[in-house]
Structure formats: C-alpha cells, structure tokens
Structure 1
Amino acid sequence: MSEFRNGHAPFPETLVISAERSGLNLVRHACEVLSGRRTPGKVHLVKDGPLLFHRTHYAGHRGPPVGPFAPLFNADGSTSYAKALLLLRDPAESFVRAFDKNLVAMKQYCRNIQLFDAFPGEKLVVSYDDLVSSDESLRTIFGFLGIAAAFDPAKMDWIRKDGVAWYDRNQPSGSQTRGDPGLLKAHQSALALEERQALAIFLRSELGPLAPAYLARWNFG
C-alpha cells in the first residue's frame, strides 16, 4: 500500500461494486479515454500501468482480487480500500438483464448493498439511470476517483457513442439499450405482474430498512 509507481499506488484505494450490466463499461471507457489510466478486467483501451480502481460484481467475494471479483472486506473484517463506489441499476432491470429472473441469484444484488452500507470508508452511490442520462454523474465519479481534472464534457457525446460501439464489438449480448435514457425500463417489460410483486417482496425481506434507503426511486422501498 505504501509503494508507489509513476505517482500512483499499485494497489488501488477504490473498489467499484456493480452487478453485471450496470454501467461499469461506460465508466471504464470514459476513464481510460480521458485519463489514460488502466481499469480492471479484460484489456479495454489501456494495457499498462497501475489500476485506477479494483472492481467486483460480488462484494462478498473471499480471496485476492481476480477477474471481476474482489473482497470489500477481508476475512478478519478489515478492508483494503479507502473508498467504495456502488453502481446500482433498477432492481427490476437487473433481475431480468443480469440475473435471468432468478430470485436466489438476486441475493448477490442485495448483498452488495448490505456490504456497501457497512463499509466504513468514503462511499458514493451512482445509479445506472443517472449514468446514462447525465454527464454530471460521470463528473462526480471522476472526482471520487481522484481524476477530476481529466473530465472533459465536450468529449462526452463521442465517448458515449464510442463506448456503445466498443461494447457491441466485445460483449456477446451487445448493447441492448444503446445508452438511450428512454429505454431505462426496457427489460422489465418481460416481467409479469406476479413476478414484479415477488421481486418486491423478496427485496424488502432481504434488505429491510436498506430497501427504501437504496431502492425507493424505483418503487422498491
């Protein structure tokens, strides 16, 4: 933690937590294009240099950071991170898009919220809705990551379009909403009323008072 290279700590101080399909690729694309810093996962644009942050799809992972997983808390209850960023998508969208309408699998979504809420360091929550709809959410993320000076709003329209093109080339499913804010609820049209009601009951049962704290904007509080 104390050894630095090129002015950057080799072990990142920030962990980004997000279920799959929650906007992390847009964050990675903007960070790498504008800051020139490498982000975790399969090589995106920048191949070399210390990582800007670590990422995880499941904050309850145990063991060293590997692939899309890193532990927010170590086995002894300590944490290796000073900051945590939670990218949170409408649970109905994630239920369909990331978890194949499987309530048991949605426990991961809930556990991410629970562990993030318990994290003692500096925290930031950014919704997928805001990430898609507003450049201000990305500006806030850049500030949180310590690269505020790299943010350039004049390049954001191109970055968003280029990010969708990158996703289409590199992800088997491709971009389904094309970064269109008008399609933020597109996937949940596949849910029957009974399925949505079951999801609401499940989330309130799993999260208790954290449900309104984190999910009220999507009427799951």
Structure 2
Amino acid sequence: MKRALNNMDTSKRQPGETAPAIAYRVDYAKGEFNGVGFAGVHGKAANFRAAGVNPVTSAAYNPADTPVDLFEVDGHFIRGDWTLQGQLSYGQQKVAAITAEPVSGDLRDARWYGASALAADKFMPRWEAIGRVDHLNNRKNGGGLLGYTVADSRNGIGPAYGGDTSIDPNLDPNKGSNRTALSMGLSWLYNVNTTFKAEARHDSANLPVFFDIKTGQYRKSNTVFGSSMLVSF
C-alpha cells in the first residue's frame, strides 16, 4: 500500500499557497501471474474552466481551486506469452464542466467514468500483437475531464460541433460526447537494443466532435496511424 499527502500541482504553487490532496495506491498479487489494485486522488485542483467569464452576467468566475475526486480499479494476468489487463475509472471535479448552466451562467460539476481492456500475445519470440479498447462516458453538463475544461475537436471532448468552431445549436450543448477507441498494434524486437512499433487506432463518438481537415466538417469518427523506434543504451 502506498499513500501520499501533498499539494496538487505542487510546482505551480507559490510559497504559502496550499491545495492539499491525498493520493493512495493498493495492490494485491494473487499468486505469481495475476493481481488487482485500486488507486485514488482526493483533494483540490486548479479549475481551468474558471478562466472565462459568466456568459449571462459577464462577471468573472471564481478562480479558486475546486474539489476533485479520482478513483480507479485495475487487474492483470500475465503468463507465458499472454498479457491481459483491465481498468475501471471514475472522476469528478466541482464547477469544472464545459457547458455552464444556460439560465444563470453558473459553472456546473464535471463527472466522467470509463473502462479499458488490453490483450497482448507474443505469437513469435520477437513479435507481439497488442489490442486495446477504451470507453469514456463524458456526457454530463457538456463534458469535462481533469485538465479538459473546454471543448477539444482534436481529441473529441465536449459537445457536438457545427460550422467552424461554434457548438452546433441544433444539438444539446449540455450533453458531452461519449468516446470509444479501438487500438491494434505490433511490436518487433529487432535486436537487444532496438524495438520497432506500429499502431492503428479508430476513435468513435456518439456526437460529431472530430474535426476533418480535408472537408472542414465535424465527424463522429477518426482514424490515426503511428509508428516508433525505441533504442536503449
């Protein structure tokens, strides 16, 4: 069991400025091949959403840190050529949601939860195939994550988009997008010092939140490819 008590974003704090938070991690290994654990962070963190002004009253929002709670449970099974991993997570931050209350303009709470699963198989001594699926429910109050307090068309966070950068008035700005990602990758151990990796990822959402550079429109899906070479010394 590990635990810590410190300031969130300690390096950003001025002398005497405090924002206490507690972080903990507990792991349990059931034998040689599998284990479970959970972790959490509870305290106060910077509220980047408060950098704006109230759209109804034009008054500045309170820039003070707000309470944040993060919690996740995970497990793994690793034996021989196979690796299996899974995780469930939940988070919330007070008055940090992307969309303000439509009548008063007051900020509202951000809340999200998600799940991830990964499977990997070393089907040859130097080759490994990896698959991963992730799902994020981020619907509440237009969406919002820790550090994501404005709509983001690159990562598909926030309400549906329309036109150039404005939120689509034909859709409910109080509903953030729910995101799913499917990743498939290969890893090749070229030699003891060099590994080549390649990955394809398909992102999808229930709302048009991904900006398409070619068409200038917003879509419900996005596909990316990546590769890398890792060299150790």
TM-score category, normalised to shorter length: under 0.3
Give me the TM-score of the superposition, normalised by structure 2. 0.19
Which structure is higher in strand share?
2
Which structure is higher in helix share?
1
Structure with more contact order per residue of length (Cα contacts < 8 Å, sep ≥ 6) = 1
Larger Rg: 2
